[in-house]
Structure 1
Amino acid sequence: MQPNAADDSASPFKLLLSCPSGLYPSQVSVVFDASFDRIPHPDVQLENSISEIWNRKSQHSSLLFNGSKFRYAGHSSSNVADSSQVASACLHLGLTDYRTFVGTNLNPMWEKFIVESQDECSRCQHTSNPLGNGAVVETSDKRILVLQRSNNVGEFPGHFVFPGGHPEPGEVGITAHQSNQDTELINKMISQEMFDSISREVVEEIGVPAESLCTPIFIGLSLRAINVRPAAFFFIKCNLPSEEIQQLYSSAKDAYESTQLYIVPMSELESMASNMPGCHQGGYALYKLMLDAMK
């Protein structure tokens, strides 16, 4: 973990990795392996609470469904020679699912799943830790897109967020670990899904056409202190102006996940960021570090 001002224990987030210069798809790789899956908790009663919570929530919500997710279990990175600038990053990913996420990270007793350790991955070995994603999208007139979440979502309803969701194992045909799979090909497919998925989320949540978006640039990883929720953040330029994007939003495929789209200048973004979930506050901090590096 790279040291930064947000690593204070009282902070709503930690920056796990900061890439202020931004990394393109060729600079981001993945190692996908069963060794990065969650380890069941030795407390049987606590472990059984995962199923109990899911069954209870399923009975009260027809919108709830399970699905596979990539589990974040750490990363490695290399720097440009004689520099602190990150040259490449490799994400270590396993498999988990939404049911286990609800029963561990989102469990009212989530802190009981945490192991005392200075190493973040060891600390979270019993939690689901699905890797989320978020995008700081800049319009052609230099404004940033921020959504207000609806009450239909499972996490932080009503809060401001950047567009985002999750990279999806199903998009690259992964349903389980297989011993006979082409490891190198799978890793490359997942690495590409990291970038494809965030563009897909922006298209579905905002309503802009895919061709209006530039290639996403990976700017780092943040972790929400509450529920130890990890997320990868990207910077994306959109070649459309604010007014046109606002019109397109009304017909967005996943507009039900939000109640309003705000398109704001940097001067307004900071106050909105303070009302974001911790992982998205971390995304804002990564964006600020990127802007500082560009000066």
Structure 2
Amino acid sequence: MASTIFHNSTAAEDPGTAFKLLLSCPSGLPPSRVSVDFGRSFDRIPHPDVILESSIKEIWDQRLLKNPSLYNGTKFRYGGFSLSNSRTVRADYSICLHLGLTDYRTFVGTNLNPLWENFLVSSDDDTVKCQHMANPLGNGAIVETSDKKILVLQRSHNVGEFPGYYVFPGGHSEPQEIGISSHLTNTDSSGQAALNDAVSKEMFDGIVREVVEEIGVPADSLTEPEFIGVSQRVVNVRPTAFFFVRCNLDSTKIHELYSKAQDGYESTQLFAVPMEELERMALRMPGCHCGGFALYKSMTNI
């Protein structure tokens, strides 16, 4: 089912683990069934409250004072989705992701703002509700090993968000990887179509890159990712796109490779676990990753 929003009812004792599913594709969609509509119409709308809006710069400046090495990178902004090639959800449906541009500075100043809830609009439509949020679209991978284990990382205690929590490998697809630093002007229809295709490809290339960098496995050991949906952490309304990927290496070999992973500093330990243990670990995941587990569980229940 691709158009129903699901709400989490667990983890009342830890609000950071609460989530809802914005989009669920339990059959798993290949790149040929996931397209992108990329444009400035899906960018963030500034908040009309001038004082609240000015807090974005204030918070960023405070962060810079504490950590001058912070980099304000450009990110893809999640602006919703639509069904393609069908008026109803069918077995052969396709999904079109609506993406704009945002940056890390605005993410820190809206989603991570202590007053983040003040940026929200009262609406049942998530795109309207979050129109003043940066909402960079993160990504996460459910990686299944050849011995049928799922890979989970434990975050370092030195990271800013959810230190020590369990997470799936992931990060963000990057506009810079395909040469995007801002929106183009005067793009004709063929140019826009090519741009949409490039962004769509980066959605899939980006998650492979994250798995390779964080886990240390070679790219050719991974199958083509399947898109399984978008989850949203209730706290900070942060969205994450999830993918299912198989690795042709067993968990023992993957543990060996992890020790040499390029981005290993963000995590302290790699786990390869069966479903029963994964279910327990999911209780100690940030909400967007709890949602990733729910998407995977829906996939396994087909």
Whether these two folds match at TM > 0.5 is: yes
Q: 2:48 aligns with which of 30, 33, 42?
A: 42
Distance in structure 2 (CA, Å) of the matches to 1:85 and 1:283: 21
The CA distance in 1 between the partners of 2:241 and 2:41, in whole Å, is 21
Paired position in structure 2 for 1:169:
175
Q: 8 Å contact 2:6–2:22 — kept in the other structure?
A: no
Q: Which runs of 4+ in 1 moved over 4 A?
A: 78-84
Q: Is the counterpart of residue 119 in structure 1 residue 121 in structure 2?
A: no
Which of residues 221, 224, 227 is equivalent to 1:215? 224
> For residue 53 of structure 1, what is the aligned residue in structure 2?
59
1:184 aligns with 2:186: no
User: What is the distance in 2 between the residues matched to 1:220 and 1:230?
Assistant: 10
CA distance in 2 between counterparts of 1:178 and 1:284 reads: 37
Q: How far off is 1:71 after superposition?
A: 0.4
CA deviations over 1:116-135 (Å, ceiling 9, x no partner) = 01110000010000000000
Q: Which runs of 5+ in 2 are unaligned?
A: none
For structure 1, list consecutive stretches of 5 or more residues without a partner in the other structure. Answer: none
- Could you tell me whether the CA contact under 8 Å between 1:19 and 1:86 is conserved in 2? no
Shift of 1:94: 0.5
Change (3 A) 1:83 1:221: closer
Does structure 1 conserve the Cα–Cα contact (< 8 Å) formed by 2:214 and 2:261?
yes
Change (3 A) 1:263 1:62: farther
Aligned pair count reads 293
Which residue in the other structure is 2:107 paired with? 101
Determine if contact 1:101/1:129 at 8 Å carries over to the other structure.
yes
Give the superposition deviation at 1:180: 2.9
Q: Of the candidates 261, 268, 282, which is equivalent to residue 270 of structure 2?
A: 261
- 1:70-126 deviation per Cα after TM superposition (whole angstroms, max 9, x unaligned): 000100125879865462100000000000000000101100000101110000010
Aligned to 2:255: 246
- 2:4 maps to 2
1:29 is matched by which residue type in structure 2? S
Distance 2:280 2:86 in 1: 34
Q: Is the 8 A contact 2:75 2:101 kept in 1?
A: yes
Contact 1:7/1:15, CA 8 A, preserved across alignment: no
* Residues 85, 78 of structure 1: alpha-carbon distance in 2 compared, 3 angstrom cutoff: farther
- What amino acid maps onto 2:136 in structure 1? P
SS in 2 for 1:274: helix
Deviation of 1:58 (Å): 1.1
1:282 partner amino acid: G
Structure 1 vs Structure 2: percent identity of aligned residues? 63
Question: Does the CA contact (< 8 Å) of 2:153 and 2:267 recur in 1?
Answer: yes
Cα shift at 1:61 = 1.5
Correspondent of 1:197 among 198, 203, 206: 206
Q: Is the 8 A contact 2:5 2:20 kept in 1?
A: no
The 3 A distance-change label for structure 1 pair 79 and 179 is closer
Residues in 2 aligned to 1:194 and 1:5: alpha-carbon distance in whole angstroms: 25
SS in 2 for 1:227: helix
Shift of 1:6: 3.0
In 1, Cα distance between equivalents of 2:217 and 2:278: 21
Q: Look up the SS of the partner of 1:175 in the other structure.
A: coil
Does the aligned pair in 2 maintain the 1:203–1:210 contact within 8 Å? yes
Instruction: Give the Å deviation of 1:4.
Output: 3.4
Q: Distance in 2 between matches of 1:83 and 1:116?
A: 27
Q: Deviations over 1:231-288 (max 9, x none)?
A: 1000000000000000100000000010111111111000100100001000000000
Counterpart selection for 1:26 from 23, 32, 37: 32
Partner of 1:14: 20
Taking structure 1 as the reference length, the TM-score comes to 0.95
SS at match of 1:176: coil
Contact preservation (8 Å) 2:7, 2:19: no
CA distance in 2, matches of 1:4, 1:259: 32
Q: Which moved more, 1:172-181 or 1:183-192?
A: 172-181
Q: CA RMSD in A?
A: 1.9
